[in-house]
Amino acid sequence: MPRLNTYHLPPNQWPDVEGSRTLLTGPEARHLLGVLRAKPGDSLRLFDGQGRSGLFKIVGVSGKDKAELVVESLFLEPMPTSGLVLALGWNKSSRRDWVLEKAVELDALGLLFWQAVRSQGAPPAVAKDSWQEKCVQAAKQCGSVWLPELGIAHGGVEGLIRVAADPGGCYAGCYVLDENAATDALPDPASLASGKNLVVIGPEGGLERREAEALAQSDFKPLSLGPRPLRWETAALYCLGLAHFAARTSQHSRSSCA
């Protein structure tokens, strides 16, 4: 059976039971109806980014931007409890969209953007809708049903320290990538994949010493990524890849022993 086309339906529009109906509207419906020329009787897959997905059938079409769907089957994937939240120093990197895509593909729990001393400009007050849309498009390609939580940490390193101390965060570990850390203080993949972990990455140009020291004094463990500086997006992907590999290796070991 060929892979079904996948579309995003916001959580507040998600149907509760099989056989119920819902509407797909806006850009998603325009692509479905205008580009793919779908018609009543065709099937598709929907997901909400919060763990829910399902198979749906088109039962009605109104113009080019509204499709009425009926639920054929629904699925729920439990919320992940392990993975990384990356706190990324703000910069004008043209690779931000690339990081958003890879964060979805590698199962990041969240991305927090923050303003460091060496940041190029300041992040917006709240996460942009266009960032969410980039994550949605990545999820369609890789089949993920969970989207990373996107946010802004205000107040520089002090804001990050508040984030780490918030009981609601439930962080198993907090880390800061520091080019002055001992070269043997390398990330442990198993630790990154065990529970929810916060990893701070500075902007292009790195952290100032007082920023790194303030985080270290607040129980952020300094980590090194090796003997040479890495670009902002490379450091992010490196950490995500380590955690993703460790998580998949652990899952494979458990299934092999079952």
* Range scoring the smallest mean pLDDT among 49-53, 66-70, 180-184: 180-184
- Could you read off the pLDDT of 107-124 as tens digits, one per residue? 999 999 999 999 999 999
User: How confident is the prediction for the chain on average, in pLDDT?
Assistant: 93
pLDDT of residue 1: 45
pLDDT classification of 257: cutoffs 50, 70, 90: low
Confidence at residue 210, expressed as pLDDT on a 0 to 100 scale: 97
Q: Is the pLDDT of residue 226 over 90?
A: no
What lies within 8 Å, CB to CB, of 227 at 6+ separation is 183
- CATH number of 6-76, picked from 1.10.3720.10, 2.60.40.10, 2.40.240.20, 3.40.50.10490: 2.40.240.20
> Which segments within 30-147 are labelled E, that is strand?
43-47, 52-61, 66-76, 83-89, 110-114
Residue 222: C-alpha distances to residues 72, 76, 129, 176 (Å): 50, 37, 33, 5
What average pLDDT does this structure show over 124-148? Answer: 96
pLDDT of the residue at 147: 98
> What residue ranges do the domains of the chain occupy?
6-76, 83-254
Q: Rg of the Cα trace of the chain? A: 21
Nearest to 218 by CA among 170, 160, 153: 160
Q: What's the pLDDT tens digit per position in 52-97?
A: 999 999 999 998 899 999 999 999 999 999 999 999 999 987 789 9
**Is residue 256 over pLDDT 70?**
no
pLDDT class for 252, splitting at 50, 70, 90?
low
pTM of the model: 0.91
Query: Tokens 């990324």 map to which residue?
Result: 88
Rounded distance, CA 39 to CA 67, Å? 9
Cα 137 from Cα 8, distance rounded (Å): 9
Distances (CA, A) of 114 to 18, 43, 190: 42, 42, 26
CA nearest neighbour of 149 among 132, 161, 162? 132
Residue 95 has a pLDDT of 84
Q: What is the per-residue burial (b if ≥16 Cβ within 10 Å, else e) of 79-106?
A: eeebbbbbbbbbbebebbeebbbbbbbb
Task: Indicate if the pLDDT at residue 255 is higher than 60.
Answer: no
Lowest-confidence pick of 108-117, 195-204, 223-232: 223-232
Class of domain 83-254: alpha beta
- For residue 228, name the pLDDT band (cuts at 50, 70, 90): confident
Cα 196 to Cα 124, 175, 191, 192, 252: the distances in Å are: 25, 12, 10, 8, 20
Chain segment 12-33, per-residue pLDDT in tens: 999 989 999 999 999 999 999 9
